[in-house]
Structure 1
Amino acid sequence: MTTFSSGDAAFEGFRLTRENPRVVLAWSIFHFVVSSIGAVVLIAFGGDAMTQLAEQPEAAPGEMTALLREMAPAYMILAPLGLATMSAIAAAVYRLQLRPQEGGFGHLRFGADEIRLVLLTLIYYVLAVIGLVGLILLAGVIAGVVAAVAPDAQAPAAWATLLFCGGLIIYALVRLSLAPVLTFQERRLVVFGSWSLTRGHFWRLLGAYVLAGLTIAVVTLLTTVIFAAVLGIISVTMGRGLEGVGAVFQPDFSSISAYVTVETFIYLVVTAVLNAIYYPVILSPQVVAYRAFRTPEPAPPYEGGAGI
């Protein structure tokens, strides 16, 4: 068993991207293609509704409901697309570090590994809903008891309950955080195996995740500021003024020709590169923890899968 360092784990993703520029380029292309497909889906199935929402931000509740209902087909397509995308890129990050010999375009595939990660995500979604319902019921019971026994203590009790429930959620998320990498490496659904593997390591794991999240947030903020400045210069140079910058953050989904502009294209490229860095930074601490906490075992035989 190796030593786990929160700092080393938090910056592992940056090391990974620095040492594998071709893989990062492949991931950037992948994210760009997926984002472009998502934009086309929105335009084709909900473009008019999104345009009306942008033009009428204070629409009446009935009109808002009708517009959201009109956009439903788009989100019914985008939801599984997003789930498949996240599973594919997560598997690619794990594969690069745990099974680099499998190769492929950016280690991207969509086979049994990715399907298992999709199923794991759906299972956790159901468990999260059940857990949140349980916490809401618990909070309601506590509030009722406090109101009956000590009415003056309702406000402090509410804050204490909120902090307790929030802490419980964070604790569960950290303790179960190695489930995806376990599922990937063991080539089987591992829903609760992370709980025993992370026993006694909560604070170090939390530190790694917080540090990685803060670091990528700073990188994203700085990139956004620089991007906005450069985009403003380009937009002014092309005679569009600053309206071109505003259109990037509130694009016109009424048609493909209206959506596609120089500014929008640059935006898609920049966000694709940021996503290609974001995922390894956020996911790599899991791989570092897995290697540190688990006794090395030979990986099961390669199953194959369709490359992307």
Structure 2
Amino acid sequence: MSFSATDSAFEGFRLTRRAPVAVGLWALLYVVLMLATLGLMGPSLASLMAEVARLEGMASPQPEDLQGVGMLYATLIATVLPLSLAVTAVLAAAVARAVLQPTGSAFGYMRVGMDELRVLGVTLVLFVVFAIAWTLPFVLVGVIGGVATASGQGWLWLVAVLLGLAGVAGVIWLLVRLSLAVPLVVAERRFAPFDSFALTKGRFWPLLGMAVISVVMAMIVGLLGSIVVMPVTLMTGGLERLAGFEGASMAELLQGAAPALIAFGVINGVLSSLQLAIMYAPFSAAYRDLKAG
């Protein structure tokens, strides 16, 4: 099978049509993640929404006003991040399995095993690689910019701008060259975060085009979903309703904000699962076709 970037870009839509039950189960897992987040951080989430509402009412928030929101956000992320990473690994492996092994559809292609551990490990390794690749050029840009300011040599600003653009281009190049790491790990059942380099050699531009198409399609789905969500949010109050439960117990929170939480969880679970399929499936299709070719 020859690789077609355009054909692969729409694999997510074919997947949702071929395996709607699996996509529904992925949505259910997102709802479970939201409920777990609420169970862990319910009162803190209400405090966060209350702080955000207060900031929105201020004409010119001061740094000390932002500090409380920042601390609440940091606490929320630190608490939920491990669970979120685990769920992401399960779902990323499920999407790859749905494309590469379509007959094994039990439990929506979701498993908990070595494949998921390998996907989690690869995800963490790539996160570190991209963090370094993104940080180093802009540290140099900051240093060169500081020297340019101190010395008054304007040409150094041109060097800084060019270096910043080169850094962005380098990160995009790295993202494309390593984009097949997850489907490769699932298909070959081995920890190989950098073997994607060999598979994507000479395919940078088609893969970049495929990625752009899939991201745009996911954004369109999100935009259409927001139009559907708007009247539901107006009827239930959305998560902003939690701002009125600052300091309330978990029981009071659930009793007063249940409709808003249920609506938010179900709708966002469905949208997230659709966007997951649209954005992740193309890379598994590209791996399948490139490997076959």
Q: 2:165 aligns with which of 163, 166, 187?
A: 163
Please show how residues 37-76 of structure 1 align to structure 2 within 5 Å. Answer: 37-44=36-43, 46-47=44-45, 49-57=47-55, 61-62=63-64, 64-65=66-67, 68-69=70-71, 72-76=74-78
- Whether 1:274 aligns to 2:271 is yes
Measured in 2, the distance between the counterparts of 1:211 and 1:87 equals: 23
- TM-score (normalised: structure 1): 0.81
Give how far 1:215 is off. 1.2
- TM-score, L = length of structure 2: 0.84
* CA distance in 2: counterparts of 1:289 and 1:230, whole angstroms: 37
Q: Given the superposition, is the C-alpha separation of residues 231 and 60 from structure 1 closer, same or farther in structure 2, using an over 3 Å criterion?
A: closer
Unaligned runs of 5+ in 2: 246-252
Q: Tell me the distance in 1 between the aligned counterparts of 2:74 and 2:221.
A: 34
- Helix, strand or coil at the partner of 2:128: helix
**For residues 206 and 70 of structure 1, what CA distance do their matches in structure 2 show?**
37
| More off after superposition, 207-216 vs 122-131 | 122-131
**Alignment-derived partner of residue 125 in structure 1:** 127
For 2:115 and 2:106, the matched residues in 1 are separated by 14
**Alpha-carbon separation, structure 2, partners of 1:228 and 1:66:** 29
Distance 1:8 1:118 in 2: 28
Q: Is the 8 A contact 1:212 1:282 kept in 2?
A: yes
Query: After superposition, where does 1:1-308 map in structure 2 within 5 Å?
Result: 2-44=1-43, 46-47=44-45, 49-57=47-55, 61-62=63-64, 64-65=66-67, 68-69=70-71, 72-140=74-142, 142-143=144-145, 151-229=153-231, 231-232=233-234, 235=235, 244=236, 247-252=237-242, 254=245, 255-261=253-259, 263-295=260-292
Q: Over residues 231-288 of structure 1, what are the superposed CA-to-partner deviations in whole Å (9 max), with x where a residue is unaligned?
A: 54xx2xxxxxxxx4xx315240632233322x44223212111111111111111112
- Is the Cα–Cα contact under 8 Å of residues 174 and 206 in structure 1 kept in the other structure? yes
In 1, Cα distance between equivalents of 2:133 and 2:145: 18
Unaligned runs of 5+ in 1: 236-243, 297-308
2-structure distance, mates of 1:67, 1:140: 27
> In structure 2, what is the Cα distance between the partners aligned to 1:149 and 1:48?
50
Distance in 2 of aligned mates of 1:145 and 1:3: 51
RMSD across aligned positions (CA): 2.7
Identify if the C-alpha distance between structure 1 residues 110 and 66 changes in structure 2 by more than 3 Å, giving closer, same or farther: same
- 8 A contact 2:41–2:76 mirrored in 1: yes
Deviates more, 1:158-167 or 1:251-260: 251-260
User: Structure 1 191/155 Cα, relative in aligned 2: closer, same or farther at 3 Å?
Assistant: same
What SS class does the counterpart of residue 238 from structure 2 fall into? helix
SS of the residue 1:16 aligns to:
helix
The 10-residue stretch of structure 1 (187-196 or 127-136) with the greater mean CA deviation from structure 2:
127-136
Provide the identity percentage.
30
Q: Are residues 162 and 229 of structure 1, via their aligned partners in 2, closer, same or farther at CA, if it must alter by over 3 Å?
A: same
